[in-house]
Each structure stands twice: as structure tokens, then as C-alpha cells.
Amino acid sequence: MFSVPTRTQYGIRALVHLAKAEAVGRARLEKSGVPFAAAQGPVAFTATSAEIARAESISPKYLEGILTQLKAKGIVVAERGKNGGFRLARDPGEIRMLDVVEALEGEVRPVDCVEDSGCCAQGVACMPRRFWIGLKETIDGYLSSRTLRDVIDA
Amino acid sequence: MFSVPTRTQYGIRALVHLAKAEAVGRARLEKSGVPFAAAQGPVAFTATSAEIARAESISPKYLEGILTQLKAKGIVVAERGKNGGFRLARDPGEIRMLDVVEALEGEVRPVDCVEDSGCCAQGVACMPRRFWIGLKETIDGYLSSRTLRDVIDA
DNA sequence: CGGTATTCCTATCGACTTAGTGGGAATATA
DNA sequence: TATATTCCCACTAAGTCGATAGGAATACCG
Ligand code: FES
Ligand code: FES
């Protein structure tokens, strides 16, 4: 019950990988004496789709599509061409897990009548409907209270 | 995302119907001067599968299977043969929604590694895994804190 | 006993979703 | 120009889900 598609699991693992790549990149800079300056926004280091796929044992072509989807929703930024790759669009602490999940799977909606109050004869008074709305709010609450940073630091 | 199969929605609506049938049945008894005495356990009145299907506009044969499944898990009791039907196995306040959901769809398990800590190389230290376990606990918490009575009274 | 209403069991089907593959076009770097 | 990368579209294989069908087992009722 409530099983999460691999699409979403892969997407999150890729984001975790990107966050780590960022941390590693900054550390390397510091070590070589060059202070970190965020030139292209808060996140500067990229990783290629193929690289992430290898590290995480995910089907390369499949992950490619997932990252493209994440990019379309503004979670990551893509750089095309040689030496291109993906990087986080903003700091991990600013990426809500709810946004990630919605980017990959659409809105949390246990049943259609969460929005469609007319799916049974009772309409708005429908009792099961309120039960499902409560579930949606509970899930949304959990997901929106965590950021990618929380996942990494867990 | 997190959409609930019709199987579960139908099952819950059927249980709500059974709870109502019980209330209506008792009221009729009271009216005719006969005091209610729970002879066969806390719940006495039955409804047939076909009857519920008609009232709730659910495919009759499909609902039949759902009710049988609910019976196998001890949520309802079946009486075969003529004048048979289904009734709640216990008082609505004693039926946790978590048990209903698990009866129809199995345990809440967003990802396999909720139990299998060895699904990626990081094992127990895996960060996404903890995130998913947190989600499972959140959902389980919501579902186990409500009973069928809460759904009806909502 | 025979008729009927009910649950119970098993098999099947079509539509949809999911995970994954493939081929290449566009784009940026060197 | 050669190369490495994202991007785009179409496709397939396998699984799940909702629903249907046919009948066997069981219980009541006359
Ligand atoms: S409004 Fe959807 S089941 Fe009642
Ligand atoms: S243990 Fe399942 S993804 Fe790491």
C-alpha cells in the first residue's frame, strides 16, 4: 500500500547525489586555498546523468528522463553540451520534499473526490471523502515539513 | 500520487453502509417497543452484498470479492445461505481504519527497503530510507488513530 | 425434499501504468 | 570538426487494476 514508484525513489537519490557532489566540490576548493564564491547561484557543481546513474546503479536512460522532468519543474538546472550536467537549482534546505514528489508524480490525491466533491451522491457531506482529505493533509504535512537537507542529515 | 485503489474506497463505503444498516435496524426495533439486545455479538443487523452494491452504485460481483476479503481478515462476519449477508464483526469504534486498509491492500510500505535494509549499498545508513520510514509512520499514525466510527461521525 | 437466495471460489479479460530501451536531434566545448 | 552531453519521441514488456463470468457450497423455507 502507498508504494512509491521507482521514478520517485530514483529522483530523490539523484538529488542526494547532487547535494553530495556540491559538498565535495566546495571542500576541494577550500583545500586548494580558493575560497568558494557562488558565481552561478547558490549551487555551483554539476554531475552528469551518466555519472549519477553509475554511482547509484540506476538505468542511465531512465534516469535521464527523470532528471529532465526535475529540471522542467525547477528543482535542478541543466547545462547542455560538453562538460554539461545537472546541479541543484537552489540550496538543499530550500528544496521541499513535497515539491520533489509533486514534480515527479503530481499532486498527492488519495481519491479523486478530494477535489471532485461530486463523485458520489452525497457530495460535500460524504464521510469517506473527509477521511481521505485528512489523509492527504497528513501526507502533505510530512512532505512539506522536510527539505532535501533534512533527508541528507537524517 | 498515493492514489487509493477503488478496492479500498469501495470496501470503506461498504463498511459505512453496514454501520448505517445497524443503526437503522436498532432504531426500528426500539420503535416497535422491543428493546435491543445484542444476541449475536455487538452487531446484529446484516446487509447483502447485492444490496450494498445497489445502494452504493458499485459493481456487484466486484464488491462481493471485497467483502469476502474483509471477512477473511475478521473485519466483517458473513452468513451464508438464504437471508444471509454481512455484518460488522465488532462495534464501529473498535474497527481501526489501519486494519481496514491493511486488510484490503496489505501493509503500508512506501518502498521495499522499509523492511529490507539491504536494498542499496548503504544499508541501514541509507538516508532516503529513513525519510520513507518516517512517511510510513506518519501514514500509519493517521490511519490507526481513526476508527470506522470517526469516519461516520466526521 | 426441492426451490431459492446467498456467500464463496477460481479463472479470465481489457485497459492502463510502469520501468526500461532505442535512436537520434540539439547544443555546447575544445 | 570531434566529442560529450542534454533533450525529445516512440516503443516494448511486464505487471496491476477493475470488472465479469460461471458455477459450487451452504442455508433457509415451504
Ligand atoms: S464524494 Fe467521493 S465517495 Fe463520496
Ligand atoms: S536501503 Fe533502500 S534505497 Fe538505500
Ligand 2 atom at minimal distance to the Cα of residue B121: 4
* Length B49 CA → D27 C1' (Å): 16
Question: Is the minimum distance from the CB of B61 to strand D below 7 Å?
Answer: yes
CB contacts, 8 Å: A154 with chain B: 127, 130-131
Q: How many CB atoms lie within 10 A of CB A49?
A: 22
Q: Which residue is nearest to nucleotide C8 (CA to C1')?
A: B68
Centroid of ligand 1 to alpha carbon of A16 (angstroms): 38
C-alpha to C-alpha distance for A150 and B99, rounded to whole angstroms = 31
C-alpha to C-alpha distance for A126 and A128, rounded to whole angstroms = 6
At A39, the pLDDT band (50, 70, 90 cuts) reads very low
Centroid of ligand 1 to alpha carbon of B111 (angstroms): 28
Averaged pLDDT, A75-95 = 95
Averaged pLDDT, B43-49 = 80
Q: What are phi and psi of B92, to 5 degrees?
A: -50, -35
Query: Could you tell me if A142 and B134 are in contact, meaning their C-beta atoms sit under 8 angstroms apart?
Result: yes
pLDDT for res A121: 67
C-alpha to C-alpha distance for A90 and A25, rounded to whole angstroms = 16
Which nucleotide is nearest, taking the CA of residue A80 and each C1'?
D6
Which SS3 state, helix, strand or coil, does residue B85 take? strand
- Residue B107, sorted as left (phi over 0), alpha (psi -120 to 50) or beta, turns out to be beta
Q: How far is B111 from chain A (nearest CA, A)?
A: 6
* Length B130 CA → D27 C1' (Å): 52
Q: Which neighbouring-strand residues pair with A147?
A: A96
Ligand 2 atom at minimal distance to the Cα of residue B120: 4
Query: Could you tell me if A33 and A53 are in contact, meaning their C-beta atoms sit under 8 angstroms apart?
Result: no
Question: Mind listing the pLDDT tens digit for each residue in A50-75?
Answer: 999 999 999 999 999 999 999 999 99
CA A43 to chain centre: 15
C-alpha to C-alpha distance for A18 and A23, rounded to whole angstroms = 9
The three grid cell numbers given for residue B87, joined into one nine-digit string = 455484518
Torsion sign, CA atoms A145, B154, A128, B143: positive
Q: How far is A32 from chain B (nearest CA, A)?
A: 30
C-alpha to C-alpha distance for A52 and B120, rounded to whole angstroms = 14
Averaged pLDDT, B66-83 = 96
- Of A81, A63, A84, A59, which Cα lies nearest the Cα of A15? A63
Which nucleotide is nearest, taking the CA of residue A84 and each C1'?
D5
Q: Rounded to the nearest 5 degrees, what angle is found at the Cα of A57, between the Cα atoms of A54 and A58?
A: 95
> Is the Cβ atom of B143 under 6 angstroms away from ligand 2?
no
Least confident of A12-21, A126-135, B98-107, B123-132: B123-132
> Is the Cβ atom of B128 under 6 angstroms away from ligand 2?
yes
> Is the Cβ atom of B41 under 6 angstroms away from ligand 2?
no
Question: Mind listing the pLDDT tens digit for each residue in A26-38?
Answer: 777 666 666 655 4
C-alpha to C-alpha distance for B119 and B124, rounded to whole angstroms = 10
Which SS3 state, helix, strand or coil, does residue A34 take? coil
C-alpha to C-alpha distance for B4 and A84, rounded to whole angstroms = 40
Beta-strand ranges (E) seen in B21-144 are 76-79, 85-88
Q: Which domains does chain B have, with CATH numbers?
A: 6-153 (1.10.10.10)
Q: How many CB atoms lie within 10 A of CB B88?
A: 24
Q: What is the pTM of this model?
A: 0.91
